[in-house]
């Protein structure tokens, strides 16, 4: 059994990841234009025609920007929660701007479904969107946990994201940098709330619980360009892994404009797995 992940980019100007199974690929979020998505896929050696479906975490533009055009051009469905579909439909009706692709599949948080041999379990997260989710994606005994926009790692998120072979988690902002930024008060309050974004301290505090002996890869994502910096998150993540003696984990900070080539997780025998870098 194998499972792979490619980070096309992450941050407030766009988020997209490709998850690979031996039977095909899926796109998680389409936060870039169709043209940019295709450029980033080609840069990482992914044939855009290999994408079987798009999974949306929520309706925010940095996750849904290329949804309609990419899905319609590739003739693939966009899979989303009922609330996300309703919201995009409402925006489409109000603004007379097409937002939804012609093929939509609605999923329910907590109910697993299957695409290209991947078992996908969406779970509700705390974020200021209509019906936002994270995902657990499994192929055989290989598992990816994915949560890119969440205000808090609550008990459900802990349950879903614990014990994954690969973990993708938000580490959005540094509290001091956000406080001293010239963002408006209401925006600061929104970001810092339990339905906003996960800060560096909360992300680092969650890691010792979420990472298990089977974890091989950690990506920290959705780093704020104004209220955080890649070097700081890299330093904090490295220190956290050192403290729990887990420097063996492949750890990367996913940047806005630098895609990371595919990393494959290969099952060796039984539950023993190995990362295959850039294969």
The residues binding Zn ion (CB under 5 A) are: 60, 62, 149
Question: Cβ of residue 62: shortest distance to Zn ion, in angstroms?
Answer: 4
Q: Min. distance of Cβ 145 from Zn ion in angstroms?
A: 17
Query: Which are the contacts of 14, defined by CB distance < 8 A and separation ≥ 6?
Result: 31, 32, 36, 62, 65, 256
Q: How far is the CB of 70 from Zn ion (least distance, A)?
A: 17
Considering beta carbons, is residue 51 or 198 the nearer one to Zn ion?
A: 198
Distance CA 131, CA 77 (A): 19
Closest contact distance (angstroms) between CB of 244 and Zn ion is 28
Closer Cβ to Zn ion, 131 or 138, answer by number: 131
Q: Which is nearer to Zn ion, 29 or 174 (CB)?
A: 29
Give the shortest CB-132-to-Zn ion separation in angstroms: 7
Measured distance CA(106)–CA(155) in Å, rounded: 25
User: Please, which residue, 25 or 148, has the CB nearer to Zn ion?
Assistant: 148
By beta-carbon proximity to Zn ion, the closer residue of 165 and 174 is 174
Ranked by CB distance to Zn ion, the top (closest) residue is 60
């Amino acid at each position: 059994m194998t499972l792979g992940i490619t980070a096309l980019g992450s941050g407030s100007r766009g988020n997209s990841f490709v998850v690979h199974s031996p039977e095909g690929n899926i796109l998680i979020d389409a936060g870039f234009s169709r043209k940019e998505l295709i450029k980033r896929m080609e840069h990482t050696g992914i044939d855009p025609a290999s994408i079987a479906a798009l999974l949306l975490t929520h309706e925010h533009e940095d996750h849904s920007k290329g949804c309609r055009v990419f899905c319609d051009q590739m003739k693939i469905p966009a899979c989303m929660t009922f609330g996300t579909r309703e919201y995009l439909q409402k925006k489409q009706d109000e603004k007379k701007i097409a937002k939804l692709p012609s093929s939509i599949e609605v999923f329910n948080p907590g109910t697993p479904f299957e695409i290209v041999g991947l078992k996908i379990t969406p779970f509700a997260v705390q974020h200021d969107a209509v019906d936002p989710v994270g995902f657990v994606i499994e192929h055989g005994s290989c598992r990816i946990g994915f949560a890119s926009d969440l205000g808090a790692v609550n008990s459900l998120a802990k349950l879903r994201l614990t014990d994954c072979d690969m973990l993708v988690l938000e580490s959005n902002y540094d509290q001091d940098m956000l406080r001293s930024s010239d963002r408006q008060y209401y925006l600061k309050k929104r970001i810092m709330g339990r339905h906003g974004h996960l800060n560096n301290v909360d992300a680092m505090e969650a890691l010792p619980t979420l990472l298990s002996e089977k974890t091989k890869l950690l990506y920290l994502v959705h780093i704020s360009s104004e209220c955080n910096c890649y070097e700081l998150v890299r330093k904090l993540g490295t220190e956290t892994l050192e403290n729990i003696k887990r420097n063996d984990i492949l750890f990367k900070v996913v940047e806005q404009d630098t895609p990371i080539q595919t990393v494959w997780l290969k099952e060796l025998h039984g539950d023993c797995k190995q990362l295959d870098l850039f294969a």
